[in-house]
Amino acid sequence: MTNQFKQRCKYCGAEGVTAEHFFGSWAKRSLRPYQPTHFDHRLIKFEGPVHARSRVPALGGLNRPGALRRQSLKIACRECNQGWMKRILDEALPYLKKLTEGEWVAIGEAERIAVSNWLILFSMSWEFADVSTQVIPKNERERFRVEGLPTERWTIGIGRQDRYFDNVYKRTMGVGDPKVPIRPEDKRGMPLTLMSFGHLVGVSCYFPREIPNTDGWLVRHGFEPLLPSQMPIYGGKPKAMSGNAVGDRIESMSESLRWICLGFAGWFTAPRP
């Protein structure tokens, strides 16, 4: 017997948790055959001189065999799962179905909010695969549950890839090392989640403090910004990423966050040091 009924919901604190399927059960029923998928979690610590760092592979509770779309974690109660979480999926579903099949949708307000909320929920929950990578504050989850809207701390973008493939990469950066002069707010770490889901590529990052120009950062990596943007930048579909682009992008995007963690707050606007 598991002790699932003693665990508390990570979102509302109620006792008893049920399995949360990250992609929703509709994704498992997709008629399109999908290839073996992969995901990884890494906790990146910054140590000593700027260029030294350690990467600790931390695969956590999702390190099970089988298709990515079948992965679930027991972190939320039945009421959350079937209530506000289901509403987020239901609102995003019409767009997710198109985007995963490679059909781009014009990004209006409804699309922007629905897809952003789904990606935020995904990354907030995915963190719990390994508690050592879990950094999003509890009050952020609480506020998201109650208000149903993201805070200004989130940067979210979507893009396309030319093949039909599922991946999830997660990096948590800047998790405190006392030897490095990191601001207290940054010690909480920055979680970056990059996932591909069919033809859709989604990226989400939670910043513990305000960072300017994250829109430009997303655009440079081939994403259409959904948050904090208020309007589409491309006004059309972004160029499709090819090959191993998603894996390359997680490395490049992690690298830029490293500079922020090390105190170069102007990295997004200034030339690279």
Q: How far is the CB of 140 from Zn ion (least distance, A)?
A: 15
How many Å apart are CA 25 and CA 70, to the nearest integer?
8
- Binding to Zn ion by residue 84, rule CB under 5 A? no
CA dist 109 to 6, 106, 149, 161, Å? Answer: 40, 10, 13, 23
Q: How far is the CB of 64 from Zn ion (least distance, A)?
A: 23
Residue with tokens 């140590």: 47
- Binding to Zn ion by residue 73, rule CB under 5 A? no
Cβ proximity of 253 and 203 under 8 Å? yes
Using the minimum distance from each CB to Zn ion, give the nearer residue, 13 or 57.
13
DSSP 240: P
DSSP 231: S
- Angle (nearest 5°) at CA 253 between 251 and 256: 110
Q: Which of 43, 44, 73, 77 binds Zn ion (CB under 5 A)?
A: 77
- Binding to Zn ion by residue 80, rule CB under 5 A? yes
- Binding to Zn ion by residue 17, rule CB under 5 A? no
* String marking each residue 32-71 x if it binds Zn ion according to CB under 5 A: ----------------------------------------
Using the minimum distance from each CB to Zn ion, give the nearer residue, 79 or 177.
79
Rg of the chain's alpha carbons, rounded to an integer? 18
# of chain residues touching Zn ion (CB under 5 A): 6
Q: Does residue 204 sit in helix, strand or coil?
A: strand
Using the minimum distance from each CB to Zn ion, give the nearer residue, 81 or 172.
81
Residues near Zn ion (CB under 5 A): 9, 11-12, 14, 77, 80
